[in-house]
């Protein structure tokens, strides 16, 4: 089976240039979990272009020299060389929660010598990113290496091999098997953008998702998403630039608009508002009339209290209809004049971009806002490489339909997890695309691949909701555990509990120890500094 896992980051990271020679690096032993498998429709022209890719139909290796023949006589493609030709080959596409944790789960299981699989993990970045803690990069609470360690370090003590590349094309063949047999010599091939092909026996799709910025005119040009490590760097760089530009100018405060008030939007708004303090203001927009509509009441109440204390302005019941540059208007008076009589409320313009807001319900005035920085947290689309023939069943959102064992329907050798998998719970609802779901799915995916290879029955996936957590600043968070009804930990206690919970979730024991020491040291230094400051104030006051 092949595990296909794409990191949620859809852009190439600047950590290191892509290695065209596919230098292999190893991954550490540990737990498993997370991520998605996708499918999409392609035009006839794209299908024709695929014919130069790895051909399973011919599947001929020229003289066994490590190349795959093409169907139209073009230059053969280099074939990835597996160390052992007899042992099962598992390909995992994507190094996010789903892909990496599935690989670590496979490494932790007990295998007989002849069935221990060879595992290769493919990701476009050279780093794993612990996405729930990206907000702490903006607040300065964590360092990059703590939440975005390199795969070469995480996998150093494992047999898992790593290839840094992008997935371009899939050609599965397991749908051709009859009577449920999984004894074909090859389950399919994966072509990478560099041109190399990987043959696999088992595949896991954990490709994640990317922000959907084409929902509103101007969003792709002027708004910044907050989904990847690169996104966090861009937002931090932009904030630093605005802080330098408007330093010492109280008459021209920094204006930040956050579009979306789900968990991501609320966490981002709270973090940025705390960082700006008196240097600017944050406005948050949501089409619904409440923030975090699916969150436990305790988390929602804690978030509302923090947002109110930091003067975050909420525009609930509005959607953004258009984003454009403010320089289309000569000045504030002209903007107001152009909109006069249009039943529109205009915030005093002071930024570089204009957002037009329309009410989701009748009877409410439209709004015009200006901002120096627009942060986008609404909408996402699954990532799925092209495939021929198109056989992955997908839903309207582009997520692969899976059975309860996490296998893609009609593909006994392909597993899908995370954002790309349309897996339904007992009530028929598709499971949410959260880190918690991905963690648990990775564990099951790893186990079920073990079961399939060893001719054991596969286990149906059952999601167990352990509760929900959210960060609200450097010393503030909210946690509502599911096992204690009505309990919500917020403030400093919630913050400490959240960090401990995420420390436990980090991918390897080695990394947990390093990060734990780092966090303890930082906390001790901050405590000493705070104590010294308090003593100084007391002495100066006396």
CA–CA separation, 406 and 76 (whole Å) = 34
161 vs 169: which has the higher pLDDT: 161
Q: Is 14 exposed, middle or buried (0-12, 13-18, 19+ CB in 10 A)?
A: exposed
411 backbone dihedrals φ, ψ, rounded to 5°: -130, 90
- Which of the residue ranges 99-113, 215-229, 247-261 would you say has the lowest mean pLDDT? 247-261
Strand pairing of 202-205 and 373-376? Answer: unpaired
Provide CB contacts within 8 A for 403, sequence distance 6+.
Answer: 409
Cα angle for residues 384, 388, 389 (degrees, 5° grid): 120
Q: What is the pLDDT of residues 114-158, one digit of tens each?
A: 899 999 999 999 999 999 999 999 999 999 999 999 999 999 999
pLDDT for residue 399: 81
Q: Which helix (H) or strand (E) holds 170?
A: strand 167-172
362 has pLDDT over 80:
yes
Q: How far apart (Å, rounded) are the C-alpha atoms in residues 216 and 318? A: 13
Provide the pLDDT for residue 161: 96
- State mean pLDDT over 275-304: 94
Asked if 62 and 76 count as a contact pair (C-beta separation under 8 A), the reply is yes
| Confidence grade of residue 421 (pLDDT, cut at 50, 70, 90) | confident
| pLDDT at residue 177, rounded to an integer | 57
User: How far apart, in whole angstroms, are the C-alpha atoms of residue 332 and residue 326?
Assistant: 9
Mean pLDDT in the chain? Answer: 81
Q: Return the pLDDT at 74.
A: 58
Residue-range domains of the chain with CATH: 89-176+183-210+381-454 (3.50.50.60), 223-327+349-378 (3.50.50.60)
Q: What is the pLDDT of residue 156?
A: 95
Does the global pTM surpass 0.85? no
Instruction: Report d(CA 417, CA 38) in Å as an integer.
Output: 9
pLDDT-based confidence at residue 387 (cuts at 50, 70, 90):
low
- Name which of 7-21, 117-131, 251-265, 503-517 the model is least confident about: 7-21
Average pLDDT over residues 259-267: 96
Mean pLDDT calculated for residue range 387-413: 81
- At residue 40, the pLDDT reads 32
Report the relative pairing of strands 224-225 and 209-211 from DSSP bridges. unpaired
| Measured distance CA(438)–CA(524) in Å, rounded | 33
Q: pLDDT > 90: what percent of the chain? A: 57
Is-contact 212 376, C-beta < 8 A?
no
Task: Give 254's pLDDT tier (boundaries 50, 70, 90).
Answer: very high
- Give CA separation, 278 vs 84, 256, 314, in Å: 62, 13, 18
Query: In the prediction, which pLDDT does 249 show?
Result: 81
Least confident of 351-365, 399-413, 528-542: 528-542
Q: Distance between CA 531 and CA 528 in Å, rounded? A: 5
- Which of these ranges, 170-179, 326-335, 446-455, has the smallest mean pLDDT? 326-335
CB count within 10 Å of CB 192 equals 24
How far is 436 from 242, CA to CA, in rounded Å? 35
10 Å CB burial of residue 247 (0-12, 13-18, 19+) is: exposed
Q: Which two tokens stand for residue 351?
A: 């930024």
Least confident of 83-92, 96-105, 387-396: 387-396
Which pLDDT belongs to residue 34? Answer: 32
Using DSSP's 3-state secondary structure scheme, residue 463 falls into coil
The strand pair at 353-359 and 366-371 is best described as antiparallel
Per-residue pLDDT reduced to its tens digit, 49-71: 343 334 433 343 333 335 555 54
């Amino acid at each position: 089976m092949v595990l296909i896992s794409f990191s949620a980051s859809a852009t190439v990271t600047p950590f290191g240039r892509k290695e065209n020679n596919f230098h292999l690096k190893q991954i550490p032993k540990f737990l498993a979990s997370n991520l998605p498998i996708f499918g999409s429709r392609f035009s006839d022209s794209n299908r024709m272009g695929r014919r130069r890719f790895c051909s399973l139909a011919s599947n001929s290796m020229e003289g066994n020299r490590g190349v795959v023949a093409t169907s139209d006589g073009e230059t053969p493609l280099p074939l990835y060389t597996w160390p052992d030709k007899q042992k099962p080959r598992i390909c995992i596409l994507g190094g996010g929660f789903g892909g990496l944790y599935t690989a670590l789960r496979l490494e932790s299981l007990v295998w007989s010598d002849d069935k221990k699989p060879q595992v290769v993990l493919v990701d476009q970045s050279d780093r794993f990113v612990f996405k729930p803690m990206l907000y702490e990069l903006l607040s300065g609470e964590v360092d990059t290496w703590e939440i975005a360690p390199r795969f070469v370090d995480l996998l150093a003590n494992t047999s898992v091999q790593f290839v840094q590349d992008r997935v371009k094309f899939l050609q599965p063949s397991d749908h051709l098997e009859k009577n449920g047999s999984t004894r074909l010599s090859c389950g399919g091939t994966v072509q990478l953008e560099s041109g190399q092909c990987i043959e696999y026996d088992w595949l896991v799709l954990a490709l994640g998702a990317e922000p959907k910025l084409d929902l509103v005119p101007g969003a792709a040009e002027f708004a910044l998403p907050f989904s990847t490590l690169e996104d966090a760097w861009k937002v931090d760089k932009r904030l630093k630039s605005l802080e330098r530009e408007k330093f010492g100018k109280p008459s021209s405060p920094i204006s930040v608009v956050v579009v979306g008030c789900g968990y991501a939007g609320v966490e981002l708004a709270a973090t940025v508002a705390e960082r700006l303090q008196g240097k600017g203001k944050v406005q948050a927009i949501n089409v619904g009339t409440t923030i975090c509509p699916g969150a436990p009441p305790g988390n929602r109440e804690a978030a509302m209290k923090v947002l109110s204390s930091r003067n975050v302005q909420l525009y609930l019941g509005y959607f953004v209809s258009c984003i454009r540059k403010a320089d289309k208007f000569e000045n504030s008076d002209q903007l107001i004049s152009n909109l006069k009589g249009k039943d529109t409320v205009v915030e005093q313009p002071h930024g570089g971009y204009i957002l037009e807001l329309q009410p989701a319900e009748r009877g409410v005035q439209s709004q015009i806002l200006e901002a120096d920085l627009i942060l986008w947290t609404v909408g996402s689309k699954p990532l799925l490489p092209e495939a021929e023939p198109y056989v992955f069943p997908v839903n309207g959102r582009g997520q692969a339909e899976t059975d309860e064992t996490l296998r893609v329907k009609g593909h006994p050798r392909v597993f899908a997890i995370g954002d790309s998998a349309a897996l339904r719970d007992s009530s028929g609802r598709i499971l949410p695309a959260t880190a918690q779901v991905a963690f648990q799915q990775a564990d099951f995916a790893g186990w079920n691949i073990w079961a399939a290879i060893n001719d054991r029955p596969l286990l149906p996936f059952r999601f167990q909701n352990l509760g929900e957590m959210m960060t609200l600043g450097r010393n503030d968070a909210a946690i509502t555990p599911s096992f204690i009804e009505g309990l919500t930990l917020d403030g400093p206690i919630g913050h400490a509990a959240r960090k401990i919970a995420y420390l436990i979730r980090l991918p390897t024991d080695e990394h947990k120890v390093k990060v734990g020491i780092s966090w303890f040291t930082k906390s001790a230094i901050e405590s000493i500094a705070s104590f010294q400051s308090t003593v100084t104030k007391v002495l100066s006051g006396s």
